[in-house]
Amino acid sequence: MIPEPDSAPVFLSSAALSAKIRGCLLGGALGDAAAAASGPASASSTSITADTQLALYSLDGLLEAIEWANQGVGADETACIWLAYLRWMRGRGLPLPENGPSPLPRPIDAEPLLQPAGTEGDADLDPDVLQALSTGEMGTRQRPLNTGVNTPAALVRSAPFGLLPYVETETVYKLALDAASLTHGHPSARHSAAVFASMVHGLLAPGAKLRSAATEALAQARANGVPELADRLQAVLDDDGGAGAAAAGTSGGTPTSEEALAIGLHAAQAVEDAADAAAGDGNLSAATGAAIRDAATAGGTPAAVVTGSLLGTRYGTLPETDLETLRERGVIEKLASGFVAATVAP
């Protein structure tokens, strides 16, 4: 279970936390939609892919565990998240494994925009995720599935784990590790997801900046035995003589999980640095939109999701013109409101 905090830390107001949670989810969705769009940026309609669908189901699995806890009933968060992924799989019209559970439906399962089976095809489905979920086995941190797979599919669904207020970053890191282990056992894939969630979580603190949130997340990575990942991302933060851009580069082709995280972090950090240099002046909404598109060009959907999620959490300011074209905006805002109601103290 998610533990209660040992001390009494200072929290943001409920309105500020609500804005950050909404901004994170919508920012990630904009990154996904921007990378997936085949037409021009001015297209009248954009849509999320399975990556954001799974991120929203991550949120719902976490919400189910919280709802049980609020009723005084203990629940395994990772098991709830696994069941949520199976519900997503069922909603896509895919058969559940015969040796696995058949989870009871929840309200998110009735959202038609999140159940596009038979209308939009399955080109956006990640084969490694499907392979893991089709085993009927729940991967764990001790016995993860797909130990040789280092794709960013676990990374792009992990931001919601950082949206838990009132808990320690170490708790968020371990929760994201466990959730990534359901489908991705490669150390870099799991720890990149955990670092990403921890960065998001750090941005919930009063006065937090991306640089400080990332530094805290990298400290968690080092404490959890992945100093090489932390060093690469630290170079992105330092950005000394172009070292940051070099560290954020890819080896060619589809980025690995750490490459996508580095590219997304680099793009988001550039916006924060520019905003700090301008003393808060300038159009953050336009800068965020440009950064998301740059990340999409450099690292595809995963990098754009990272950039959008981080900047949406950091500032809560997103390009309205892009939001207006996002087909699933209303669904995402409704899910965000439900999560806020269950997790944020009034």
Q: Please tell me the predicted confidence (pLDDT) of residue 74.
A: 86
Q: What is the pLDDT of residues 207-258, one digit of tens each?
A: 999 999 999 999 999 999 999 999 999 999 998 655 666 667 776 678 999 9
- Tell how many helices (H) and how many strands (E) occur in the chain: 13, 0
Q: Please tell me the predicted confidence (pLDDT) of residue 243.
A: 60
The sign of the CA dihedral 230, 149, 84, 127 is positive
Q: Please tell me the predicted confidence (pLDDT) of residue 251.
A: 63
The sign of the CA dihedral 248, 23, 193, 203 is positive
Domains and CATH numbers, the chain: 48-343 (1.10.4080.10)
Give the residue ranges of the chain where pLDDT is below 70: 1-11, 38-43, 116-121, 240-247, 251-252, 279-282
Nearest CA-CA partner of 287 in 306, 270, 300: 270
Which residues does 266 contact at the CB level (< 8 Å), separation at least 6? 236, 239, 244, 245, 247, 248
User: How much is the pTM?
Assistant: 0.94
